[in-house]
Amino acid sequence: MAANPYLLTLFGGSGAAPTASLSSADTVALYNQSLKNAGKETERLRADPTVKRDLASLFKAVDKARTPEDLLRNPEARRVLLQGIGLADQVDNAGLAIKALTSDPSKATSLTKQLPDQRWSAAAVQLDFTASGLKKLKDPAFRQVISDGLVEYKRLSAISEKSRVVSDALTIQGLSDTKTDIYTVLGNKVMRRVATTIAGLPDELALQSVEAQARSLSARFNVDQFSDPKKREKVIQRYLITASNSGLSFTA
């Protein structure tokens, strides 16, 4: 199962305690094993009682809520929903979630268009709160989309506990072939981490202006590689080895 592209930024939080680094051989082996076991692990998680309870709790809250705002004010419903649509790292950001997801993504002046994190705009389009309220979240087909997103989040979270490098690689592996740009890469924690690691750029790059960051990264890394399947796989293999050799096989 291909990774939801909006899950890409979830495994980049700061402040986590590193685990023992995996060797490059072990990192590559874990990546290959995770790819091989993806289908089996996905099916296991779909049947997991915790996942089922989370989804039941969300959909019960949807049926009770009068408005999207009501739903998003419910901490448990918000947690499950945001995990299912690729915004798990924003679960505690209730105010922003309400304002961003209920703004009209079709308007250039909407909040989602102003936010540098493009996941908000994508999620607002996906949920369609401004046009249809809670209607989409009551559609069985769309509920399956949320369910699939939650299962994939759980799967990648478990892998990230063993190696964030491998979870990074898996999410890059699941990217679509849609062409991206340098600013999208800089604004996405995982794509940024992969690109800057391969380019050999330090964390201090973030202290520069966005324009300066774009120039530095563009000079050392071609972001078009993310949208080409063959080049993307080469990027993954380079990242697995470079990151593990640098001692970056830690959890997010």
pLDDT band at 247 (very low <50, low <70, confident <90, very high): low
**66 Cβ partners below 8 Å, 6+ apart?**
none
- pLDDT given for residue 2 in this prediction: 45
pLDDT band at 248 (very low <50, low <70, confident <90, very high): low
The CATH code of the domain at 46-149 is: 1.10.3700.10
- pLDDT given for residue 85 in this prediction: 95
Backbone phi, then psi, for 241, in 5-degree steps? -75, -45
pLDDT, tens only, 89-139 = 899 999 999 999 999 999 989 998 888 787 898 999 999 999 999 999 999
Residue 8 scores a pLDDT above 60: no
Q: Model's pTM, two decimal places?
A: 0.81
Among 199, 192, 190, smallest CA distance to 169 is for: 190
pLDDT, tens only, 36-84 = 999 999 999 999 999 999 999 999 999 999 999 999 999 999 999 999 9
Q: Mean pLDDT over residues 29-42, rounded?
A: 96
Residue 158 CA to residue 117 CA, distance in Å, equals 24
Most confident of 13-17, 203-207, 236-240: 236-240
pLDDT, tens only, 177-228 = 888 889 889 988 899 999 999 999 998 998 999 999 999 999 999 999 999 9
Backbone phi, then psi, for 21, in 5-degree steps? -65, 140
Q: Which alpha helices (DSSP H) does the chain contain, by range?
A: 24-36, 38-46, 49-64, 68-72, 75-84, 94-101, 111-114, 118-127, 129-132, 140-162, 164-173, 182-186, 189-199, 210-220, 229-245
- How many of the other CB atoms lie within 10 Å of CB of 29? 14
- pLDDT given for residue 178 in this prediction: 85
Among 125, 157, 165, 164, smallest CA distance to 142 is for: 125
Q: Which two tokens stand for residue 161?
A: 């506990």
